[in-house]
Chains A and B, each alone.
Chain A
Amino acid sequence: MMAPKHYRDVYLREETYQKLLQLKAVMGKRSVNDVVEELLKCVTVNTVSSPVNTVSFTVSTVKPTVSTGDSPVSTVSPTVNTVKHGEDPDSNELVKRLESLEKSVAELREAVSALEKGLKDFTKKQQDLLNAYTSKTDQVLQRLSQVVELLQQVAESLRQGSEKVSEERQRVSEESVKKARREKVDACERLKRELAIFESDIADRIRDRDRFFAKIENVCGGIVVEGLKERVAIEKSFWQQFLEKLSKIDTSDDEKIKKSLDSLEYKLFKTLKESALIIFDATAKKWIFVEKQKTGTSSGTDAGTALPSTSTTNSAVGGATATGSGTSSSTKASASQRKKHYKKRYGEEDESWLLQYVDNVA
């Protein structure tokens, strides 16, 4: 049997050949040569330092040699090992070195495991810390969002409030304008309707009464008489009528006066009388209106003050002067003196006292 080119002959025993065939089957190789090559690859001879039968092999790597599935060596992984045969001192030293290496490896593994454990603990602690801060941050964010919501609500309510306030202001201004118009109209209409408005009657309804009376005087053309306790707004024609009626009354008896006047006129009469704005001239038996009214419209008021009573009084006084004896001049002089005296005593403004006195003297 001739060997092919580049092939050499090797004689084996039957049992060795059988083992090779088994390995060939296990490894899935095509030929026996491949099996031998694989064996040589796996088992590299490192040292041969001993005599016969004392051989030591150091295997660097053992790779999986079989690619088929059911092989028992299919899961072989690379390891470092020493196979000892016999009692070689070098191999003993190697064994010792390997043992020390193994020990150091074991120590290293322990250190690594300890490090891993420490790392785990550290990670856990860090995670716990992070969780705590995360929860706090969440709380803070939640509160912040609540605060933002509250601020938005406050801003909204403020906006609504300002809108309401502006609306209210506008409404109030409109109302005040309307009220002013109404008041303006109402004051005149009321005066026309009621003819005489007493301050005591409107005190609880109208706050700014000065304005009211000023309006009556300036706008409505009414007459305002300032009494002792209160002011009275009087319609002009009614006032003329009242004065005419008053001039016709020749008694100071209240009952008779009450009968001759209606209730409003009598009320006005009483007010004027209490305020000493009308005085009964006992001599002339007439009521005199004392000019102390506060009038804005001069012409109307002047016309009002040019009373029959006043003129009557003047005429009476004048008459007395004309028909009087020589004592009239002395009486006049003494009257003027007294007038001065009382002006000094009671002041310039208190005309009523003076006139009353003068009239009484006359």
Chain B
Amino acid sequence: MKATGGSRASVASGDWARWLNRLGPLLALLGVFALFAALCPPSFRSVWNLETIARQTTIVGIAALGMTLVIVSGGIDLSVGSLVALSTVVIAWSLGKSGLALDPWAAAGLAIAACALCGMGNGLLITGLRVVPFIVTLGMMLVVRGAAKGLSHEQKIDAPDTWLNELLATLPDERRWLLVPPGVWLLVILSILIALVLRYTRLGRHAFAIGSNEQTARLCGVAVDRVKVWVYTIGGAFGGLAGVMQFSRLTVGDPTVAVGLELDVIAAVVIGGGSLAGGEGSVLGSLVGALIMSVIRSGCSQRGWPNWVQEIITGLVIIAAVALDRLRHRRTA
């Protein structure tokens, strides 16, 4: 048992490979952007268009933050799209129609709390009934969608004009100094927060451990069930916040909005290096994944390509991203 000093000298070369791996998705984003910049008219590169891309990314991006946490812990949440719809409905309903006439802050808070509660329901059902997350959240997707429709009597709910509508609206001239709308800034701040949570808190480290090997986590005394409930609750809360952003774009409560959004969100996480087997994923990656999809969407429409071309390209990018990721893993393993 003698100390050999390990081999600290060779750490540096390992670090390089690690950074390259981590920046892989970012390079892919730059590549896709450069490609469309070459193909599209100059308007694609305009500040205005960049802002549009950022705004379009915000809804998926915020939901992807929660989803990153869920996927890192080895789970999945299919109810996000429905949560977004529920959130818009709850906001519109509590702002006006219900007679509560809540303050916009309270309305948004109520919506987020409702969605967090649904997320907590996901977590409790998954851990309590020992049913796989895919099934539980698939059920929750329908339950929440139904609840949103019931609350709104299957109609759009109009809401009074409040500052919530400006969260993702194009900036008026007097607030140009903000560069991007407040919603985008919120995404940036929350991204940093979640990245820090994943890396520097016990919740984050435990989520990685559970996703990587649940048995090991249990052996090491990690309160697996409690961590999972937290993870899904946070996932639900971010779904609710994504709904606030969605409301800002719609300015009404719409129970039929964001159908299939969960797949975009999952795709963003997966393109960014998240593994559906758990234990892998990063906030930066997920954001980049969401941005890649927005860039493709924007580029295709600028180029005048129809919607179906854009869908085919997005699909191919998802498959290519994951295939590349697996290839990289095989090489480093």
Do A and B make up one complex? no
